[in-house]
Chains A and B, each alone.
Chain A
Amino acid sequence: MTTTLYSIIVEFVQIAVVLLAGPALAGWVRMLKCRMQGRTSAGVLQPYRDIMKLFVKDVVLAENASWIFRFTPYLVFGATVMAGAIIPVISTVLPSAPAADIIALVAIFAMARFFTALAGMDAGTAFGGMGSSREMTVATLAEPAMLMSVFTVSLVSGSTSLSQMAQVVTTNPLMLRPSLAFALLAFILIAVAETGRIPVDNPATHLELTMLHEAMTLEYSGRHLALIEWAKMIKLFLYAALGVALFFPWGIAGATPLWMLPAAVFYLAVKMAIVGAVIVLIETPLAKMRIFRVTEFLGMAFLFATIGMLSYFMLE
């Protein structure tokens, strides 16, 4: 009984962490990037200010936008927060964990993407349709590669439940597994594509014609845009948290003891700071690739995931 109450508290703490840490990670990445480019930055808190500013602004709707367009920001935000509830971010003891595994997680992200793509086409502008088409091209390649990559981890842990997977990796003795190394490589490539980072997409561009993700959401304003931007930041955080939970889960809180929870939050902060630094180190020396190279890029991710799976059967 105490476990259940404890797990509900954990769930609430985790959702709060996800909501707040998303913008913080985005701000941290931006700050480091500014420093790397020799600029002064607006600080870690700037994304919070941006979101607050957008919330108080009016919404401007395209004349022929339907309910899909108005509904999508809420759905995307809700789906992203839901994903945050099932990924073991600070603890493996989550009440939602038995109900939703990694396949459900991929489906939740796919649903958010599906509606974003619909909303992109809904306003009837050329850019929205263009963005939707590009996003779906990336998605058709990224999703199977993503599943292959996480399945490799589930082969190691013998389960598709995220909590289970994290737990198995923490409790087993540390050993070098080539399958996990390949799966991690694949996961990093996919995460870059899925979260719209350089070299696949440029989150800071103003060039309409080059955008992938941003092109779909160009028509949004006010609170709608705030939700979409916030969800995007959370998504980046979640991908980082998922990678950490699958490949470096040490430090995550289990069922007992209770003091593990604050310690887990602390470890998470340290890990995220490192992930942010890695993102900046990857992005700064790279130019964005030509759009048709993205298929090769994701093909490589799929290949890595497959090699990871094969090496599990052959070597382990």
Chain B
Amino acid sequence: MPTLKDALISALGEDLKEYTLQRPSDVSAFIVPRMSFRAAAKVMLAQGARLAAEWATDDAAFKKGFSVHAAYNLDGEFLIVSAEMPEGGPSFPSITKKYLAAYRFERQIWSLFGILPEGHPDMRPWIKHEDWPADIYPLRKSFDGKTYIPKAAGTYVWVRAEGEGVYEIPVGPVHAGIIEPGHFRFQAVGEDIINMEARLGYTHKGIEKRFEQMDWASAARLAGRVSGDTSVGHATAYAEAVESASGTIVGLRAQYLRAILLERERMANHLGDIGAICNDAAFTFMLYQMSILREKMLRTNAALFGHRLTFDCVMPGGVSSDITREGKETIKAELSGIEAEFDKLVRIYEDNPSLEDRVYSTGILTPPDAKAFGVVGFVARASGVANDARILRPTDAYRKVPPIPPLLTSGDVHARAWVRIVEVRDSIRIIRMMLDEMPEGELSVEFTPPAPGACGFSAVEGWRGEIIYWVQAGPQGEINRCMVRDPSSVNWIAIEQAIKGNIVPDFPLCNKSFNQSYSGNDL
């Protein structure tokens, strides 16, 4: 079964050192010599593995220099390859030319850690904007988050297109609507887009740095606020990573409750998105109808779980709120109402030719591109990439009630909308079955902090896609590093590919069909 592990061992042999403190047991971690980091990527690529995340750590607490880590995934197997670097002038061989997904990960490592990815084609800063002094690296342990830093002046060099009739449209970061900030730079000829470059980082808050100052239990609240619409997804991913690091086994009832909350979050967000996609094609009717359905869910959430967006329901060791017998009935009644209404609305969506004309063949992300960028979530499933963390790494609850994710190959706006429609229906089925089958049991078990040096890993299917957390305990058992990889970190770049060849006024529609998180990406 462990294809990647075997391939790595046979290719690199003695150079490998297994990192034994990595948990859970089915995720193996190897330390390779620094110069073999790219060779390892080549082995993984040959196996057809996907680069799930790439990040760095400052090992000052262990009296060492820096490390860079890359998590690869093939089917159900996750494998972490790490390389250690000295304290002065750290660098590692870039794997961007092997894996396109590494492009922004490595720019981020360079910007926030000052670790040089050798051979990276684009060394412009990412997330850390030019008003930061270039030689300050906020994620290094030597940087105190409380220090005042003077504002530096600098300019960001954009990719330029030149030629007759080529003009540039800068959009954002402040938009006419109330949405998150991001800057998009279009190069267009007439209305045809020849290139679009996104620039994010406007909501950079230093979340990863903040994690390192918190204790394991209270950091769950921070994880739940990484991206407000994915509170359960992030809190669950954090909790699972921490539990794996400390060897905590969560009860089955708590797992069921987490899965139900995850599916409710998926449903509520998909409902909102389907309406919003139609609204961007000026089909306002759908937005308001879908908003009503979403609102119903949020009100049920407030009544049953004490928060409309179910903040702080998931914590390391279990969950904080239960579903009573009456609660079950409330949810079932709510689901039946939503299901009937939803079916009618989907029929309207299907039968409207003017809407059809907008959503079909707009913003196509081709399956080869989707695979090359390693996209996740509904974006992947709309472009022929069957990636779903609920199936790759199922919890016991999802093993008992397996999801049936859709798979479309057209990769256009309609495909991304349709994947959401099918998932809403599937979530309704999952929630109903889980409510029926949910066993009695403890809501939470006592959570013991991880041992010094222990690392935990988790991949959880949030509504946008696979959320990855990797945590590392320091020498005193504190949080030494908490790596957050929101699905947006890999999916954002895919929009730049999907938009090429489309016309400028179709961008909002394409963007809405992706609907990636700014906050989750910028951290």
* Residues of A near any B CB (own CB < 8 A): 33, 36-39, 126-127, 130, 198-199, 202, 204-210, 218, 284-293
Least CB distance, B416 to chain A, in whole angstroms: 16
A207 to B507, CA, bound (A): 10
* Residue pair B358, A287 in contact (C-beta under 8 Å): yes
Interface-central residue, A130, A285, A287, by most chain B CB under 10 Å: A287
| Between-chain CB contacts (< 8 Å), 21 pairs | A37-B285, A37-B288, A126-B170, A126-B171, A198-B282, A199-B282, A205-B282, A206-B175, A207-B177, A208-B171, A208-B176, A209-B171, A209-B507, A210-B508, A287-B278, A287-B352, A287-B358, A288-B281, A290-B506, A291-B503, A291-B505
A123 to B378, CA, bound (A): 41
* Residue pair B507, A287 in contact (C-beta under 8 Å): no
Known pairs A202-B282, A208-B175; A289 contacts B354 (CB<8 A): yes
Within the complex, which residue of A130, A198, A207, A286 is in contact with B508, where a contact is CB–CB below 8 Å? A207
A218 to B508, CA, bound (A): 17
Least CB distance, B299 to chain A, in whole angstroms: 17
Known pairs A38-B288, A207-B176; A288 contacts B506 (CB<8 A): no
A38 to B288, CA, bound (A): 7
* Residues of B near any A CB (own CB < 8 A): 167-171, 175-177, 191, 278, 280-285, 288-289, 292, 352, 354-355, 357-358, 503-509
Which chain A residue lies CB-closest to B191?
Answer: A291
Least CB distance, B413 to chain A, in whole angstroms: 12
A79 to B507, CA, bound (A): 35
* Residue pair B357, A287 in contact (C-beta under 8 Å): yes
A199 to B358, CA, bound (A): 11
Query: What's the dominant secondary structure at chain B's contact region?
Result: helix
Known pairs A207-B176, A209-B508; A287 contacts B171 (CB<8 A): no
Which chain B residue lies CB-closest to A284?
Answer: B285
Complex interface: chain A residues within 8 A of B177 (CB): 206-207
Query: What's the dominant secondary structure at chain A's contact region?
Result: loop
* Residue pair B288, A39 in contact (C-beta under 8 Å): yes
* Residue pair B169, A126 in contact (C-beta under 8 Å): yes
Complex interface: chain A residues within 8 A of B169 (CB): 126-127, 130, 209
Complex interface: chain B residues within 8 A of A293 (CB): 357
Complex interface: chain B residues within 8 A of A287 (CB): 278, 281-283, 352, 354-355, 357-358
Which chain B residue lies CB-closest to A211?
Answer: B505
* Residue pair A210, B283 in contact (C-beta under 8 Å): no
A210 to B505, CA, bound (A): 4
* Residue pair A38, B170 in contact (C-beta under 8 Å): no
- Top 3 A-B residue pairs of the complex, sorted by shortest distance between their CB atoms: A288-B282, A206-B177, A202-B282
Complex interface: chain B residues within 8 A of A204 (CB): 284
* Residue pair A290, B357 in contact (C-beta under 8 Å): yes
